[in-house]
Each structure stands twice: as C-alpha cells, then as structure tokens.
Amino acid sequence: MDTLPNARPGTAVRILATTDLGAAFVPLRTSYGTAGTCAGVAELLERERESQPTLWLDAGDLAVGPVQPLLGRRPWHELARLPIDAAAAGNHEFDDGVPALRAAAGLLPYPVLCANVDVGLPASTIIDTPGGPVGVIGLTHPFTHRFAGAPPPLDDWPQRVAHLSADLRANDARWVVVLLHDGVDWWPQPGSTATGARTDRLATLTRPWITSVDLVLGGHTPGSWVGALGGVPFGHPHIFAASVLVADLPSGAGRAQIRGVHPVPARQPQRRDQAVDALDAAAANVLGQSRHDWLGRTGAAHYLPGLLARALHQSTGADAGLVLASEHTNQGAVDGSVAALRAGPVTELDLMRLFGQADDRPAVIHLRPGEYRVLRRVVSGIADPANPAGDHVWWNWGRMPPGISTGPVEPRTVAVAPFLVPRLAELLDRTLDSEVANVGARRALLAVLP
C-alpha cells in the first residue's frame, strides 16, 4: 500500500500539495516506471482525511498536456470533479487568454487564485477545516505575461502579498499558505538520478513577503525540492502527479513542517469520461517502434533532445535542428529525466506527450552569417548549471544541453519549435524571419526512430 508518514503529534491540518497536474487522469509510462494519477492523489487524500483534517492544494497548470490536442478542448469539466481545495493560476492557465481562463475558473468548485496579476480572479481564500481556518494566497509565475496572453504583474504585488496575509489573519486564518507557480533552478547530475539546485533567484523573488506567511508551496518545474527560504518552509513536488508534497500545520505556535515528497499511486480513474477515453484510445494507437530508451537527462546514452533535433532537421530541409531540453517535458523528474520515449511500441499518446499542440509543425528561422555559432554558444551557456546568470533568463527552468543536429555546412536555416522564435530573436537582439514547415513534428519523429 502507498503510505504517507503519520502526522506529527499536535498537527492540526495536513496539506497534500501538487503542481502541474497536466490532466494526469490515466497511468502513463515513464523512465522510472508508471506515473501517478489524479485518482491516486484523491485516494491519498481520502485516506489522510480519516486521520486528520487534510487539504489538497495545487500550484497551477491544471489543464496543460495531451488531452487538449486530443479532445480539441481543455478538460475543465473533468478537473472540476477532483477534490482540490484551492489552486493557483499557472502560466498555462492563460494559454487561451484571460476571458477563457475566467470562464474555466467559473466551472470549478474550488477557487483559482491569482494575487499578482489583475485578471478578475480571487487573490486569496480562507478554507475552514476542523483543525482551524487556513488562509491561501495564489501567485502565478512572475513571467506569465511572457509565456502567454496575460497582463504583466502588478507593480506592488510583493507588498500586496504581505497585506493579504495580514487581512487573512485578521479574518481568523490560523495559518497562511502561498501557492507560487515557480520553483528552484535545478539540473540533473550527469550519470546519476540526483539533481542539483540553486535558490538565489527564488530567494530574491520571495524576500519582500515570505516572512509574513507560514508556508510556500511551489511548482512550474519538473523536479522536486524541499527546504526553507528566509526561514520559512518552502517546497514543491514533481509535476504530473508523480509525487505529492506533504506538510503539517501545527496546532500550537510551532512552524509548519514539510514531511517530504512522496510517490503518488498509479490509480485508474473511478469513472470514464471523454478525457479518459481520448487518452486510452491514443495509448492503444501504435504508430511505430523504438529500439532504445530515449531520455531527457544530461549524460543519457540516448539523449532525447538530440533525437528531436534530428527529426526537425531532417524533416524540414533546414540546415540544422535546435531543441531546448526544457521545452519537451512529459514526466516528473523523479530520476532526473524530464522526458522519456521508452523502447518498444511508440503510440499516438507518446507523441502527443512530447508535442502537445494540435498544430505541431516546426518553424524554420533564417540566420545571418555567423549567427548560428553565436546562438549555439549563448543557448549552451544559458543551459550550463555552472552559469548562475542563466537563472535569470525568464523561460529557462532547465539546465540541460540543447539538442542539436547539423549538416556539413554552417547553418543559415534552423528548425525549431514555433514558440522559440521570439525567444531566440531576443537572444540575437533582432527580429527573425521564419516560416512554418510542411511536416508536423510527430510525423518527423516517427521517421527518424532507429
């Protein structure tokens, strides 16, 4: 049986925290086995509630993942059935725009919180429990306006968090918890399942307000981390329901205690619905075979970003293919791998998990002489764990080598994911000309599988 540690004596309320659930409705293959599911989290929650008051809090990105391109809609109706108590708005909640987010939030029986961007969502809530009222504040990623169609953060949002915390306590909240859709900067250790991490950027982000709250639960990044910032417990679990973070709120004057990050059982959903049917059908649709386990982990014998770069390169006729390792994530980094394509049958669902857009055609950018060398050097430097400056590049949560595929000549055209075009233009400090390729990335990947 999958068990969590017993609550410490004097615990008033227990919290199970998740992040980036990604509509993890069915068990999926990963490099470390079978991933957990939303039903698995719900099972843990039900079991814990037999022993003490327990909340399920989520740090955002509920509806990202393969369900959307498979169904042609986000699975908000299915997510509404989960016994979540409150969630923060993640950056992917804004992918369809602010009006769509507000409409989706209106479908959910639990609040979606966003205190740092003014989009008409509640900033905070108080959840009454038999152990006492818990105040919760939600913060989306500080660069959500760069990731998606969202307004920029409020100028005074750090001060607002402290004021909200004071207001929650004035309204009888015994504890204040922040759900922050951001996490530590981390990287896989070559040849190991261990990871390294750096907290400097996050410590700076949270410093103005963190001592006004009791616990911060993060997310956004595939790896887990547990520690403290400014003396306040902080942590985040792995993404996609691979694990839950367990925290205990004390009945007395002591600090909140994080009890670790624990695996989620891979439980099938208790009921079938359109999302589950779509995922199961895609998993049963075998489209190809792979001879190897391809991993998105530094030092892997078969490096998945390199394979993806080769697919983009060869399918488009461009001079090169470039893939940022952090941009094709399909699993929690339990063993240090952010993505995996396992040996054996390759299904439609495997491909959708790597290229999760309905239109999966890459873009081909045009470079001037010498720019490819500059771009490769800059991108590789940003991904280097030894370079702390890379922590401050707004999209760079991963520290793994880029996937690169080139031919015999200096590249003047490079195939990339379309959303990378403005990011690479920013690195080169100019607008880049580009066009959309004719072949989709999923089809291209099948063509290069050894």
Segment 133-143 mean pLDDT: 99
Question: Would you tell me how many other CB atoms lie within 10 Å of the CB of residue 109?
Answer: 10
d(CA 114, CA 150): 12
pLDDT digit string (tens) for 407-436?
Answer: 999 999 999 999 999 999 999 999 999 999
pLDDT of amino acid 19: 99
d(CA 350, CA 25): 15
Report the percent of the chain where pLDDT is more than 70. Answer: 100
pLDDT of amino acid 109: 99
pLDDT band for 240, please (50, 70, 90 cuts).
very high
pLDDT digit string (tens) for 155-207?
Answer: 999 999 999 999 999 999 999 999 999 999 999 988 788 899 999 999 999 99
Average pLDDT, the chain: 97
d(CA 226, CA 261): 8
Domains and CATH numbers, the chain: 11-263 (3.60.21.10), 286-448 (3.90.780.10)
d(CA 311, CA 441): 7
pLDDT digit string (tens) for 311-336?
Answer: 999 999 999 999 999 889 999 999 99
pLDDT at 46 over 90: yes
| H or E segment and range at residue 202 | helix 200-206
pLDDT digit string (tens) for 80-130?
Answer: 999 999 999 999 999 999 999 999 999 999 999 999 999 999 999 999 999
- 88 three-state secondary structure: strand
DSSP code of 23?
T
Report the percent of the chain where pLDDT is more than 90. Answer: 96
d(CA 106, CA 55): 21
pLDDT at 397 over 90: no
Whole-number Cα distances in Å, 334 to 33, 242, 299? 10, 7, 16
pLDDT at 248 over 70: yes
What is the secondary structure of 133-191 as a DSSP string? -EEEEEE--TTHHHHSS-PPPPTTHHHHHHHHHHHHHHTT-SEEEEEES---EEEEPTT
pLDDT of amino acid 1: 52
Segment 7-27 mean pLDDT: 97
pLDDT of amino acid 190: 84
pLDDT of amino acid 305: 98
d(CA 368, CA 387): 27
pLDDT digit string (tens) for 286-297?
Answer: 999 999 999 999
pLDDT of amino acid 192: 81
pLDDT at 225 over 90: yes
